[in-house]
Chain A
Amino acid sequence: MTEYNFAYLDEQTKRMIRRAILKGLAIPGYQVPFASREMPMPYGWGTGGVQVSAAVLTPKDTFKVIDQGADDTTNAVSIRTFFQRTAGVATTTATSDATVIQTRHRIPEEPLHEGHILVYQVPIPEPLRFLEPRESETRKMHSLEEYGLMHVKLYEDISRHGHIATSYAYPVKVEGRYVMDPSPIPKFDNPKLGDMAAIQLFGAGREQRIYALPPYTQVVSLDFEDHPFEASKADHPCGMCGATDSYLDELIIDDLGGRMFVCSDTDYCEARQAAGHKGKDAA
């Protein structure tokens, strides 16, 4: 533990990141530029989330990392080990025990509480990026609240697919002001973004942006009056724990078209199985 400064980053860097986080919390949904550091992992693996986590972790925290809901995938394991070694904080896979949760692409099924911090890894923080390639122009659009273009994307979805086919990274409007990319979480998780008790922080390392949602922020998913937003999931119960209210992954289990649906949140699924719930595919 003497080899590294607490949580890897030097104190000045953490200070800089905390200032960006505070500004982000003060202006919910606004993308705050920050001087992203080179981290010992490739861009796209969560360099933004790791820097935000490093800046908010304290020695007393209990840290959890999820990747697509799972605690045991490469990204989750490597980041958890990284902070075990560089910060010496306690780690857990149980959502209820954690105080800081870094996540890629999911919000845990279990409700989070005040005092929790949820850190998202964000690949592309700019919701307007694929509609308007000029960053100078998108910044102007944010500052002048010109968000008609965002609906053009939804319009295109409906005209091509008959419904709003965007199923992840579904754009939201924060407190009636900023349009925000909630990172590539499934739109099933969008309703959880709003009015959440925990602090939500978003870090984009390559793009050098931090944004945030303070607790109990109003977050509205964009839609049309005649095509309202719908949080969708696979229409099945979980094969392992039988849950009907959780977001499911579809697994191909043989080459004969066999498939099963299981909770993407592994901790939630395991806790339910331990409590005696059983799905139809459980061994």
Chain B
Amino acid sequence: MTPLLSVQGITKRYGAHIGCADVSFDLYPGEVMGIVGESGSGKSTLLNCMAGHLTPDAGHVVFDTRTDGPRDTITMSEPERRMLGRTDWAFVHQHARDGLRMGVSAGGNVGERLMAVGDRHYGDIRDKAMDWLGRVEIDASRVDDRPRTFSGGMQQRLQIARNLVTGPRLVFMDEPTGGLDVSVQARLLDLLRGLVRDMGLSAIIVTHDLAVVRLLADRLMVMKSGRVVESGLTDQVLDDPQHAYSQLLVSSVLQV
């Protein structure tokens, strides 16, 4: 089986400081990979390198494209990479306002990717937008409201709808539940889990919340100071952490 995404030796330096160093892993179709670690451990740098937002100093990110098979996304041309970014890839930002157009209605936000890939029928675009608002549990009557009138949780769900509308195969998520209160987090996680299962999505989720990876991720990587210190099946890593830092991380979670 060909991995959907194969990351080989990704290294990114900020001058003398290391962003992330020598990270390698394979992600297979339908698999959800969690990346955990403390703030500044290089999680987001790694995610941005994989999603093409940052250019790594070394390494390859090989993606199994629909048409041409495995391609190195770092050496592919910018138009191709940006095309991937709005078709097969999706990126969910921590702050919904980074990923949404706040001055454009909810329907327009969801429809943007459709129009970007050439959809030119207003009725169809609107129907798909309504459908997706329903799937992320936003009332259809809010379709013409701007996201700034939405609550934080709704904004985050809208961002997810906007990203998934073109049926991507790989979703990058940067702290998707950060900044939301726990009950909203729980609903969002429930929703995400359902979508990932139904659509057979592969996802890479960066978070510092172990509960998120416990619920969503099949596999887990623990990062510290830009390096992967431990990786394995989620339950295995969380229940029997081997590395000192993983042990610290797991034992730091408050038990209520």
A and B pair up: yes
Q: A residues near B, CB below 8 A?
A: 131, 144, 146, 148-149, 151-152, 155-156, 158-160, 224-227
Which of these, B79, B104, B115, B144, contacts A148 with CB under 8 Å? Answer: B115
Flag if A156 contacts B121 (CB, 8 Å). Answer: no
Q: Is B143 positioned at the interface, with any CB of A under 8 Å from its CB?
A: yes
Q: What is the minimal beta-carbon distance from B77 to any residue of chain A, in angstroms?
A: 10
Q: What is the minimal beta-carbon distance from A177 to any residue of chain B, in angstroms?
A: 14
Among the 9-residue stretches B4-12, B105-113, B220-228, the one with 4 or more Cβ atoms under 8 Å from chain A is B105-113
Among the 9-residue stretches B42-50, B122-130, B183-191, the one with 4 or more Cβ atoms under 8 Å from chain A is B122-130
Flag if A225 contacts B113 (CB, 8 Å). Answer: no
Flag if B104 contacts A152 (CB, 8 Å). Answer: yes
Flag if A146 contacts B108 (CB, 8 Å). Answer: no
Q: Is B22 positioned at the interface, with any CB of A under 8 Å from its CB?
A: no
Complex contacts, A226 vs chain B, CB 8 Å: 121-123
Q: What is the minimal beta-carbon distance from B27 to any residue of chain A, in angstroms?
A: 27
Q: B residues near A, CB below 8 A?
A: 78-79, 82, 86, 101, 104-105, 107-108, 111-118, 120-123, 125-126, 143-144
CA distance A146 to B111 in the complex (A): 15
Flag if B105 contacts A149 (CB, 8 Å). Answer: no
Which of these, A144, A159, A224, contacts B120 with CB under 8 Å? Answer: A224
CA distance A131 to B101 in the complex (A): 9
Q: What is the minimal beta-carbon distance from B102 to any residue of chain A, in angstroms?
A: 12
Complex contacts, A131 vs chain B, CB 8 Å: 101, 104
Flag if A146 contacts B82 (CB, 8 Å). Answer: yes
CA distance A224 to B144 in the complex (A): 18
**16 extra interchain contacts, Cβ-Cβ under 8 A, other than A144-B82, A148-B113, A159-B126?**
A131-B101, A131-B104, A144-B78, A146-B82, A148-B114, A148-B115, A148-B118, A151-B115, A151-B120, A155-B122, A155-B125, A159-B108, A159-B143, A224-B120, A224-B121, A225-B121
Flag if A155 contacts B144 (CB, 8 Å). Answer: no
Q: What is the minimal beta-carbon distance from A92 to any residue of chain B, in angstroms?
A: 44
Q: What is the minimal beta-carbon distance from B83 to any residue of chain A, in angstroms?
A: 9
Given the interface pairs A146-B82, A148-B117, A151-B115, the reply to whether A156 lies near B122 with Cβ below 8 Å is no
Complex contacts, A155 vs chain B, CB 8 Å: 107-108, 111, 115, 122, 125-126
Complex contacts, B82 vs chain A, CB 8 Å: 144, 146
CA distance A151 to B117 in the complex (A): 11
Flag if B122 contacts A227 (CB, 8 Å). Answer: yes
Closest-by-CB residue of B relative to A132 is B101
Which of these, B101, B116, B120, B143, contacts A225 with CB under 8 Å? Answer: B120
CA distance A156 to B110 in the complex (A): 12
Closest-by-CB residue of A relative to B111 is A155
Flag if B104 contacts A146 (CB, 8 Å). Answer: no
CA distance A151 to B114 in the complex (A): 10
CA distance A223 to B120 in the complex (A): 8
Q: What is the minimal beta-carbon distance from A155 to any residue of chain B, in angstroms?
A: 5
Flag if A152 contacts B112 (CB, 8 Å). Answer: yes
Given the interface pairs A146-B116, A148-B116, A152-B111, the reply to whether A159 lies near B105 with Cβ below 8 Å is yes
CA distance A159 to B117 in the complex (A): 20
Q: Which of A144, A159, A160 gathers most chain B CB within 10 Å? A: A159
CA distance A146 to B105 in the complex (A): 20
Flag if A156 contacts B104 (CB, 8 Å). Answer: yes
CA distance A62 to B86 in the complex (A): 51
Complex contacts, B79 vs chain A, CB 8 Å: 144
